[in-house]
Structure 1
Amino acid sequence: MTDLLERDAVLRNLADCLEQAEHGHGQVVLLRGEAGIGKTAVVRRFAEERGGTGRARVLFGACDPLSAPRPLGPLMDIAALLDPPVAQALEAGLRRRTDPVGTFGGVLTSLGGQAGGQPTLLVIEDLNWADQATLDLVRFLARRIDRIPLLLLATYRDDEVGPTHPLAAVLGDLAAFAAVHRCTLEPLSCRAVTALTAAAGHPVDAHELFSNTRGNPFYVTEVLAARTPGIPTTVREAVLGRIARLPDRAREAAEAVAVIGPRATEPLIAAVSPDAATGLEECLAAGVLRPDGPVLCFRNELARRAVWESLPAYRRARLHGRVLAALRSGPVDPVDLAQLAFHAEQAGDEAAVAEYAPRAAAYAAALGSHREAAELYGRAVRNPAAAPPARRVELLEAQAYESYVTGNLPEAIGAWDEAVPLRHEQGDRRREAEDLRRLSHMHWLAVHATDAWRAGLDAVRVVEGEGATRELAWAYANLAQLACLGYDPAATADYAGKAAELGLGLGEPTLKTHSRVYEALVDVACRGQGWENLEDAWHAAMAEDGMADEACQIGAVACWTAALHHDLPRLDRLTVRTCAYCREHQVPTFLVVALGAAGLGMLHRGQWARAARKAGDVLDRNHQPLHRLLPLVTSALVKARRGEPGVWPLLDEALSYGEEADLFLAGPVWAARAEAAWLEGDDSLAVAEAEHGMKAITMDTDPWLVGAMLRWSRLAGGELSQTRAAEPYALEMAGQWRAAVRGWEELGCPYDAALAGLGGDVPAMRQALEAFRSLGARPAADRAWERLRAAGVKRTPYGKRASTRANPYSLTKREREVQRLLCEGLTNREIAVRLYITPKTAAHHVAAVLAKLGVHTREEAAIPLDDDVSR
């Protein structure tokens, strides 16, 4: 039996009413909600639960949307289950077409006369389609129901019950009865829609799905079941079937609103179609449309689109043309520019598109609505009237920039790629170089390193003969950035120096700041030193006018680098500052990169549950390679370290991004692949993966990346090169395991410390084994036992103790003791004294507790836990 999301309260209310009926105090429940809200699902679930347990006799009747409703249709559905005299009287009355009220007394007796006190659950579905006799029956039963063991559960579509609907009078009559209860089914929340989307494994954006369906369960489930773009056939048929029952003028009103869109006011509808305006009241009464302040709209976007798509193309274009004419008949409000551009395109009015789309795009961009601006510039570019080329290239450049700001790199690359030859044809070499520089940057963001270098070098080539121009200076600055991220200090210094020198002559100090940043960054990345210089330069960039994009990128790359260097306190500080700055300046691209780096930091800390959630959040919402790469590595390593399936598809996707020689991007992936192979016990594959990554290593490659690949090659039995590595790794390579363990512990990386301990003596390997167990790292624990067995240690059964299994957080007895001492606010040293252990061991236990509880700080772990199995 599947779960019904967010319906527990309704089911509890129904259960309470049935309990009252069991005691002889019958109840009426009017279950209301819009079409598709899930009334039938709730009723069926309740009936299955109560009827299946024998607590109630369940009877189902239904009203049908017939042009002439069946007299007493719901009652006739259950007639065979009533007392024979009552059933015979009903059938005879219907044959003679006599007043059925005379039989209602017998119906009441039959429904309330169950032997043994078993109540009856009578369900009448879709009371909004009932005939008058059925409505009279409901009145009759409601007045007398409190004396018999009967629960009458009637459903109806409240969006179809207007003031003149026959059911409206009945509802008014029932309002005074104490035994009558009203229950409304609300749409699903965004959280519930997100949960359904995740359970279905559907690639659709859950927030967009919620927005389009307004949480209507029918629409949500049908979209998820269809698994193809567009409106599902079931949804279209349901909407159009409802529209088909309306009079002609009401259908015209629905069609006019579908074409006008979200700003359909009554005067605008009348201007588009006077006949449609006369049908609005019928649309509202039928629930097809609803008022939303001064405008009229469909209940959700899918319903509007279904009606819009059902219109023949010629008729749709004609209606759009009428809307366009109505909107432009008076003064044009800038707020309406986007709507004018849309209707102009749908009407095929190229001149109007050329007039309104660029203006609407510029207005949207000025308001910070970059996604809308990119779409509007795209509309203008698609329009044949966007010629001549001088105008078209400006629109392409604007579209490219707005697409970049919103993170739509394919659109940005395509637009700048198209703009470059147009600038070349115009002979505008400076603008051509500027477009090439921006194209180069887009290619780097899309992890196309070769294309980024090609476009970047072309930008320099185009304007080298034009003198000391701003475009040449920024082209050099772009190459400095590419060289920095390619771990090339010499080229970085060369290009940065040229950019700064030109900037000085041009009176552009921003170029000096830009050059200073990348010289500092390459020093950090290649030599592991100069963080203070980098942060000073970054702060200077944030203070410069016009450097918001660069400052956001620098912050994100700094977060990435700090995560690779296991510099966790610095990573925390950089992430907070970068995310705040990116949000302030509306640059989501680098905000997501910083969040991905934060997830990797959680992995290093041993907070694997938090790391998996953080990485999962990024992967669920982002599709750009640069956004996904670190979260893919993080998710894969959490799975690999826990011994869970699904590791290699994540790592294969990560490896598909970028180029093998680009170690800034590929280095973390090769190291992760080597670790995953080692954890699976495949030493030859681990060595091969590490060596594959090491082929691209130079003397200037980030020593932290080098060290990671060397470690896995060493643990898997590979031959070690003399290539330099960062200190903790270098200590491992040199066999100085005590210093290596101490170094990793000081960095706050318990898993890495345990790995370093594998190179030590038997006590060190035992301690590593205990650390792996506390982290839930079963594959690493198995590898540790291999080494202990090789050292002559007899293996004991591996598994959690009974007390650990009984704890809902999988805390061992010792970890539970440590958690209680955290609640007292004790430090690691104080915990060690209290438990007669070393401070180092106490630190391991604290890290394990934080990881298992999925929290970040000691304060978050200091909470009372329900199951204290260690008492």
Structure 2
Amino acid sequence: MSACSVSPVLVGRSTELERLQEALAEAPGAMLIGGEAGVGKTRLLREFAERAGAGGAQVLVGGCLELGAGGLPFAPFTAVLRALVRRIGIDGVAGLLPRSATAGLARLLPEFGEPESDTASGEERARLFELVLTLLERLAERAPTVLVIEDVHWADRSTRDLLAFLARNVSAAPLLVVATYRTDELHRTHPLRPLLAELTRVERVRRMELTRLSRGEVGELVRGLLEGEPPAGLVERVYERSEGNPLFVEALLADDGERALPESLRDLLLAAVQKLPEETRETLRVASAGGTRIEHALLAAVSGLDDAALARVLRPAVEANVLVVDGDGYAFRHALIREAVHDDLLPGEHTQLHARYAEALERDPALVPSGRLWVLLSHHWYSAHEPTWALVSAWRAANDARKAAAYAEQLAMLSRVLELWYKVPDAAARIGARHVEVLEQATLAAELAGEHERGVKLATAALREAEAAGDDARCAALLEQRGRMSYELGRPEYIDDLRAAAARLPADPPSAVRARALASLAHYARPRNNDGEALAAARESLALARRIGDTAAEINALLTLFCVGIDYSGGLAELEEVERIVQRSGERHPLLRVAVLRSHFLEGAGRHAEAAEVARQGVELAREVGLSRTHGAWLSVNLAEPLVSLGRWDEALSCLKQALDQDPMAVVRTSLHVLAGEVALARGDLAEAEAHLGPAGDIKWREAQDYFAMLRLESALRLAQGRIGEALAAVENVLECPGLSDDARYAWPVLVIGARACGEWSDRAAAAAMLERIEKRAAELAVQGPLQEAHRLTFEAQLARAHGRRDLAAWDAAAAAWERIGQPFARARALAEAAEAALAGGERDLAARRLQEAEALAGRLRAAPLARRLEETARRGRLNGTAPSAARSPYGLTPRELEVLRLVAQGRTNREIAEVLFISAKTVSVHVSNILAKLQVPTRGEAAATAHRLGLAD
């Protein structure tokens, strides 16, 4: 590709790659690919070229040069021809052309001699064009060929004409012409515009535009470039500043998204601006201080121009696509263009301009929408180096953000207040709050925004000040808050903070701070197997809350008590009581926790449809209150999980993708990846399942909900891959971790996989020992609710199979249990086992009915591996059609005898043959005797040899 740097990582371009591959498969034709500078055109083509080359195609690449209007004639074609000569030599190229025609290529490359004529004529030009087309078509006759011409927005007229000629006239050989151009370079009078419009009407020409990457794709690109997980907040910073442009992502990543733009990128962005008239550039410099978007009235006020003059001055910038009209204002086409223009200001200009903006807004706040006033004032006063007014404005802006539930923005403004605090001697008096109170507010904003790393640091700073002041109540509150955030970050010291918070204040007199600290201790002690400690703390917290009449503390304690003593056999009375209290309180945030717990309970109780509806409503509420990354992320898991259970897999995958695109915290990502991996596994995409297993394994706490779920995916995937030992190694981790919170709910499905793996393990002695341990672990598990009962019944049936018994009644009971709670995939698998058990018992009609039900379910779910298994079962049981006539079989062997003979030829014993064909060993013995008689051989060995000789063993 071109000489510019390209990323080693390609993300978000699967659809575009498919379109290019389809175009090559359907060649001849042409593909025109547009996109702004840095959006990834070159990177896409490099990936396509590698794939095309691996498939046997040859790829020729040339690029246009930015040399002004005149340019270098045919520069990309000259580059292509030179590369071809290096590859196959002058004689090789000559061999592809008609005799005596080679000299015509001298117009492109001196190595071919001198042109036959110096005459300038349309005929000579036409001959050259025909010659290039012939050369390319002859190459394509040998192997599919791709001709790539990059940056045609810089192309000279001759290059454009030749490109148009090829696109219109390639007609036979598999030749694909690909041209790329920058859409942001195409001003209204650019000469490429009419050509693109003309070529788009050609039947074989396709057009495609690359868009910027989504937030999730930027995260994937960052992780790929860093070869690991990025620091907290880096993806968000890079995405906001790059707006999804891959080139800008790479440039910003080198500076952690914080520092000044690299000079090369700055020059790239300023190129279009430098071509504008001086008065336009001057006004753009003024506009750049106003942000990526600026209202017309505000720009007029700051620039001193009236409406007519401002419109006249800005028109060239709009026509050059540097600015775009956006409602009643203007926007820079890309945020980094504005930044480059702004960074080009001299220091004095920079300060003066921002001061002018701040003064204009102070004079007339109506110049901007009210919700933006304080943020803009803080920005401009800060940039003008006026710390007092920047601090006051930031404090007011933080308050506005808090009211709007914009916690990340609140944190940003409070961080500015803290930064400027010591530059303003009377800061506390100016805003009416002490430094420690600002730290407290910032800590809470960080927690609500999901910025836990930042929150822990802020809490620690606030603790130092509270300790120095001897403020025990404030210390307890901060310790409790820091403990919660440390838990989310996977730091083991979280429990120490929570215990210290509860112990900081005495039980008498009762206080809301102690009640809340005890409730948090109860909630977060459970993952560490401290149910006794959790239960005692929750009860004390509830008693304290009711003594002091603290509704918030009472809600917290009740919810915690529900979690500690959750019983899927019971109802939701306790949770409904909490919900009534919350509704009376008028608070919305506790409703999110209620939604999380209610949907979690309903799913665990096998009430999948109800769970999905509760979670869906919770996701919407989380979005409304600005908590999508925290409570909303948990609720996305709680929505996807019942959708998977209900067999609504496509809907679940869409939900999972949206949640992963939000870059949720690690504990949430684990669950999201597990669910996506299990759907992929059920549909037979083992590579996709493996891709999800990696990030799912990034678990910081051995909590059953996350850890056992990850082991469930790992053991099932390894079993599907035939790596039974590794599958059982994953199961062993569940055996070694009894007593975790919610143990039974998450342990049962892993034990089912373990029993199945033991039944398939060739090391019978090791399998028996492992099975004994699995049975013992299962015996210790409680069974709560219909979901766990379905798992238990499945385990009992699987256990019987592992011991060599196919129990039709057991599998029927399991299938019925799954049907009662509406889990189609689990039911289909149980029906498949039941069908095999029925065949083993000679119940062909029963087997056929179960297979028919299972096939319908597997087909609806697109569960390919299960469908193949059902087809194989039907074939072996002779339930899916009429076998060939025995009269046409060699030696008069019946279809069943042929099946037995094939298995004999494989060295199978009578017992093994019986298991495969679902018949008794005695029946196999009869078949073997008949086979020996018909083949007229005395032994099984000779029968096997005869089968191989006659080709009957395949």
Match of 2:358 in 1: 324
Mapped partners of 2:59, 2:552: distance in 1: 81
Answering whether residue 573 of structure 2 is matched by residue 533 of structure 1, we say yes
Match of 1:393 in 2: 436
Question: What SS class does the counterpart of residue 399 from structure 1 fall into?
Answer: helix
Deviations 1:547-593 (A, max 9, x none): 43333224424555666677767755654564455445444423333
Match of 1:230 in 2: 257
Question: What SS class does the counterpart of residue 67 from structure 2 fall into?
Answer: coil
Report the Cα offset of residue 350 of structure 1.
Answer: 0.8
Match of 1:341 in 2: 378
What amino acid maps onto 1:405 in structure 2?
L
Report the Cα offset of residue 357 of structure 1.
Answer: 0.9
**Are 1:412 and 1:442, in contact at CA under 8 Å, matched by a contact in 2?**
yes
Match of 1:836 in 2: 846
1:497 is matched with which residue: 534, 537, 543?
A: 543
Report the Cα offset of residue 240 of structure 1.
Answer: 1.5
Report the Cα offset of residue 363 of structure 1.
Answer: 1.8
What amino acid maps onto 2:522 in structure 1?
A
Alpha-carbon distance change, 457 to 730 in structure 1, aligned in 2, over 3 angstroms: farther
Match of 2:514 in 1: 475
Q: How does 1:87-98 map to 2 (within 5 A)?
A: none
What amino acid maps onto 1:624 in structure 2?
M
**Are 1:758 and 1:764, in contact at CA under 8 Å, matched by a contact in 2?**
no
Q: How does 1:843-862 map to 2 (within 5 A)?
A: 845=854, 849=858, 853=862
2:596 is matched with which residue: 522, 531, 556?
A: 556
Report the Cα offset of residue 537 of structure 1.
Answer: 1.4
Match of 1:187 in 2: 211
Alpha-carbon distance change, 762 to 846 in structure 1, aligned in 2, over 3 angstroms: same
Question: What SS class does the counterpart of residue 363 from structure 1 fall into?
Answer: helix
Question: What SS class does the counterpart of residue 264 from structure 1 fall into?
Answer: strand
Mapped partners of 1:356, 1:235: distance in 2: 31
**Are 2:398 and 2:411, in contact at CA under 8 Å, matched by a contact in 1?**
yes
Alpha-carbon distance change, 554 to 765 in structure 1, aligned in 2, over 3 angstroms: farther
Deviations 1:763-802 (A, max 9, x none): 7754599989x99xxxxxxxxxxxxxxxxxxxxxxxxxxx
Question: What SS class does the counterpart of residue 376 from structure 1 fall into?
Answer: helix
What amino acid maps onto 1:104 in structure 2?
R
Answering whether residue 400 of structure 2 is matched by residue 357 of structure 1, we say no
1:654 is matched with which residue: 679, 686, 699?
A: 699
User: After alignment, is 37-46 or 295-304 more displaced?
Assistant: 37-46
Answering whether residue 488 of structure 2 is matched by residue 451 of structure 1, we say no
User: After alignment, is 236-245 or 428-437 more displaced?
Assistant: 428-437
Mapped partners of 1:57, 1:667: distance in 2: 51
Answering whether residue 449 of structure 2 is matched by residue 406 of structure 1, we say yes
Match of 1:591 in 2: 632
Mapped partners of 1:532, 1:148: distance in 2: 71
Equivalenced residues, count: 765
Deviations 1:471-507 (A, max 9, x none): x14532541453366434344333312321221xxxx
**Are 2:251 and 2:265, in contact at CA under 8 Å, matched by a contact in 1?**
no
Deviations 1:251-289 (A, max 9, x none): 656655554322235665566668998975555455444
2:125 is matched with which residue: 82, 99, 104?
A: 104
2:407 is matched with which residue: 355, 370, 377?
A: 370
Report the Cα offset of residue 359 of structure 1.
Answer: 1.5
2:71 is matched with which residue: 64, 69, 72?
A: 69
What amino acid maps onto 1:483 in structure 2?
A
Report the Cα offset of residue 190 of structure 1.
Answer: 3.6
**Are 2:701 and 2:707, in contact at CA under 8 Å, matched by a contact in 1?**
no
Question: What SS class does the counterpart of residue 585 from structure 2 fall into?
Answer: coil
Deviations 1:309-360 (A, max 9, x none): 6767776555544443444442254223212222333333211211211222
What amino acid maps onto 1:545 in structure 2?
S
Question: What SS class does the counterpart of residue 364 from structure 2 fall into?
Answer: coil
**Are 1:187 and 1:217, in contact at CA under 8 Å, matched by a contact in 2?**
no
Report the Cα offset of residue 403 of structure 1.
Answer: 2.5
TM-score w.r.t. length of structure 1: 0.65
Mapped partners of 2:162, 2:673: distance in 1: 62
Mapped partners of 1:632, 1:130: distance in 2: 46
Mapped partners of 2:264, 2:797: distance in 1: 66
1:263 is matched with which residue: 289, 293, 300?
A: 293
Mapped partners of 1:53, 1:673: distance in 2: 38
Alpha-carbon distance change, 817 to 263 in structure 1, aligned in 2, over 3 angstroms: farther
**Are 1:444 and 1:452, in contact at CA under 8 Å, matched by a contact in 2?**
no
Mapped partners of 2:707, 2:52: distance in 1: 55
Report the Cα offset of residue 755 of structure 1.
Answer: 3.3
Question: What SS class does the counterpart of residue 383 from structure 1 fall into?
Answer: helix
Answering whether residue 334 of structure 2 is matched by residue 300 of structure 1, we say yes
Alpha-carbon distance change, 607 to 36 in structure 1, aligned in 2, over 3 angstroms: closer
Alpha-carbon distance change, 67 to 428 in structure 1, aligned in 2, over 3 angstroms: same
Structure 1's unaligned 5+ residue stretches are: 21-27, 658-664, 718-728, 776-808, 819-831, 856-860
Mapped partners of 1:650, 1:242: distance in 2: 37
Mapped partners of 2:743, 2:45: distance in 1: 64
**Are 2:734 and 2:750, in contact at CA under 8 Å, matched by a contact in 1?**
no
Question: What SS class does the counterpart of residue 544 from structure 1 fall into?
Answer: helix
Match of 2:419 in 1: 382
Answering whether residue 626 of structure 2 is matched by residue 624 of structure 1, we say no
**Are 2:213 and 2:245, in contact at CA under 8 Å, matched by a contact in 1?**
no
Match of 2:5 in 1: none
Report the Cα offset of residue 383 of structure 1.
Answer: 1.6
Report the Cα offset of residue 543 of structure 1.
Answer: 1.4
Structure 2's unaligned 5+ residue stretches are: 2-9, 83-92, 526-530, 717-723, 759-771, 816-825, 836-841, 881-954
User: After alignment, is 473-482 or 599-608 more displaced?
Assistant: 599-608
Alpha-carbon distance change, 320 to 648 in structure 1, aligned in 2, over 3 angstroms: same
TM-score w.r.t. length of structure 2: 0.60
Report the Cα offset of residue 7 of structure 1.
Answer: 3.5
Report the Cα offset of residue 689 of structure 1.
Answer: 7.1
Mapped partners of 2:500, 2:606: distance in 1: 33
Q: Percent identity?
A: 20
1:34 is matched with which residue: 33, 36, 39?
A: 36
Match of 1:162 in 2: 187
Alpha-carbon distance change, 568 to 57 in structure 1, aligned in 2, over 3 angstroms: closer
Question: What SS class does the counterpart of residue 260 from structure 1 fall into?
Answer: coil
Alpha-carbon distance change, 747 to 202 in structure 1, aligned in 2, over 3 angstroms: same
Mapped partners of 1:178, 1:640: distance in 2: 44
**Are 1:263 and 1:296, in contact at CA under 8 Å, matched by a contact in 2?**
yes
Q: How does 1:33-52 map to 2 (within 5 A)?
A: 33-37=35-39
Alpha-carbon distance change, 122 to 834 in structure 1, aligned in 2, over 3 angstroms: closer
